[in-house]
Amino acid sequence: MKKISASLFTIIMMLLMVGSSNVFANDESAMGVEYRAHIQDVGNYPTDGTWVQGSDQIGTPGLGRRIEGVSIKLTGDIPAGAKIVYNLHIQDYGWICDVNDPSTWQEGPHFAGTIGESKRIEAIQIKLLDASNHQLAGYSVQYSGHVQDVGDVAMVADGSKLGTVGASQRLECLKVSIVKVADVVPFYQALGAAEEIMANKDDYTPASVAALEKAVHDNPLPDSPTQAAVDAAAKAINEAVANVIKLTKQPVVTQISSTLTVDLADEYNIDTLKGVLARAFKATLGEKTPDVFVESYVSDNASVTSGELNPGTATIVIPAVTVTGISVAGPYTVTLKVTDTTNYVALRPALAAINAGAYKNTATVANYTGAEITGVTAANLTDVNAQVAADAIANLGSLNKSQIQASVNKTLKI
């Protein structure tokens, strides 16, 4: 429940940030806006074909004339992919685009509205989008106007509705401006990470959690932050998050004995044996048994690391060992019952001769025959040795019986 509360806190704060971006306005924007309108009894305004500069007002205050259409465009230092879009509520037509999908709105500087139909604009939505049709980061478009029988209306921003719907009241004046806003997303991301840790504080050392709580307390977001203030607060909280220390809770496993059966099959090698041991340890100690524990186990046993296990019974003993995540009280004993169902031991000298001599072209046909490898003759011996040597290099180690046979088959194009 605590985790859910922390996540909800972060989500709510993010929604407040997106829905009230004008709260964070703090810098004059290098990007500007210009607009024109089609006005009752006036026509296109300004009449000389120029554009009104934001945030100057467009319209005819006090004359009761409706705005019938608008064109809006961005100017100045426009970020790559940035665009301004707008949606109108028009007499008898309603909203001309989907109010909930700004990607469908008219894109500036194209005209939206009517000409020659005597239809009033009753409400307008304006929004800044990036190339992916998401809210343009770092900027806010703010707009206000004058509405019939209402008068001047308060400023709204970033897609909010300006005007009336269903009251048959015309929009008579409009003014638009763009302001640069601080990107507060990094701050709320840092705060969310901190809240997650504080909601589970019992998993961390008290001192490190206290330091994190102090960092959050000492770095609130101002009402109208600059980008530098946002970045500094986020940095302080992120550093405290990074310094939180997780408590180490190591389970202790008492002495255990286990018996494994290992078959010296054709595919046997040190990695095969390590895999067998790893599965046995995890079955006994649990899936969280770390690989480093398995490595420490096999590395102390020459019979394992040399790969020279022989048929019979072997005992491997490891003293007490502690590694990340688990503490094993030794000695920990594994008894290996080694079988040789494929006559691997008898073939071992011939296989060793092939691996040692192939790259020097000294491995003989008799070596291959002694290892039960088929297809090698005096005529193809040099080519076979070259292929075996190349495959051994690619394998980063010696080849087993089936791998050598595969090299021969490759040479013979079988």
| Residues 404 and 300 both lie in one domain | no
| Residues 367 and 318 both lie in one domain | no
| Residues 122 and 270 both lie in one domain | no
Task: Work out the burial of residue 396: count CB atoms within 10 Å of its CB; fewer than 13 is exposed, 13-18 middle, 19 or more buried.
Answer: exposed
In a domain, 204, yes or no: yes
Nearest to 413 by CA among 380, 372, 391: 380
Q: How long, in residues, is the chain?
A: 414
Distance CA 207, CA 176 (A): 51
| Residues 165 and 205 both lie in one domain | no
pLDDT at position 330: 58
Distance CA 153, CA 145 (A): 6
Distance CA 178, CA 190 (A): 28
| Residues 334 and 385 both lie in one domain | no
In a domain, 5, yes or no: no
Burial 164-202 (b: 16+ CB within 10 A, else e): beeeebbbbbbbbbbbbbbbbebbbebbbbbbbbbbebe
Other Cβ atoms within 10 Å of 234 Cβ, number: 21
Residue after which a domain boundary falls, among 223, 242, 261: 242
Q: Which residues contact 96 (CB under 8 A, 6 or more apart)?
A: 87, 88, 89, 90, 106, 112
In a domain, 2, yes or no: no
Encode the chain (414 residues) as per-residue pLDDT tens digits: 344 344 444 444 444 444 434 344 445 568 999 999 999 999 999 999 999 999 899 998 889 999 999 999 999 999 999 999 999 999 999 999 999 999 999 999 999 999 999 999 999 999 999 999 999 988 999 999 999 999 999 999 999 999 999 999 999 999 999 998 888 889 999 999 999 999 999 888 999 999 999 999 999 987 778 888 899 999 999 999 999 998 765 444 444 456 666 676 655 555 666 666 666 666 665 555 555 555 655 555 555 555 566 677 766 565 555 554 556 555 656 666 777 777 778 888 899 899 999 999 999 999 999 999 999 999 999 999 999 999 999 987 788 888 999 999 999 998
Residue reference for tokens 């688990």: 326
| Residues 304 and 256 both lie in one domain | yes
Tokens encoding 382: 């040099």
Rounded to the nearest angstrom, the gap between the alpha carbon of residue 396 and the centroid of all alpha carbons in its chain is 35
In a domain, 1, yes or no: no
In a domain, 62, yes or no: yes
| Residues 192 and 177 both lie in one domain | no
pLDDT at position 339: 78
| Residues 199 and 287 both lie in one domain | no
pLDDT at position 251: 43
Task: Work out the burial of residue 50: count CB atoms within 10 Å of its CB; fewer than 13 is exposed, 13-18 middle, 19 or more buried.
Answer: exposed
Identify whether the C-beta of residue 348 lies closer than 8 Å to the C-beta of residue 372: no
Instruction: Determine which helix (DSSP H) or strand (DSSP E) holds 268, and give its type and residue range.
Output: none
In a domain, 25, yes or no: yes
In a domain, 259, yes or no: yes
| Residues 201 and 91 both lie in one domain | no
Distance CA 294, CA 205 (A): 30
pTM given for the model: 0.47
pLDDT at position 289: 57
pLDDT at position 228: 87
| Residues 112 and 224 both lie in one domain | no
| Residues 291 and 321 both lie in one domain | yes
- The residue ranges of DSSP E strands in 119-221, in sequence order, are 121-129, 139-147, 151-157, 162-163, 171-181
Other Cβ atoms within 10 Å of 18 Cβ, number: 12
pLDDT at position 30: 85
Residue reference for tokens 């080519």: 383
Residue after which a domain boundary falls, among 242, 276, 311: 242
Between the alpha carbon of residue 115 and those of residues 67, 70, 112, 147, 331, the distances in Å are 10, 10, 10, 20, 93
Number of domains in the chain: 4
| 159 phi-psi bin (left φ>0, alpha ψ -120 to 50, beta other) | left
In a domain, 4, yes or no: no
Full domain range(s) for residue 79: 11-181
- Phi, psi at 289, each rounded to 5°: -60, 120
| Residues 92 and 220 both lie in one domain | no
Residue after which a domain boundary falls, among 304, 339, 374: 339
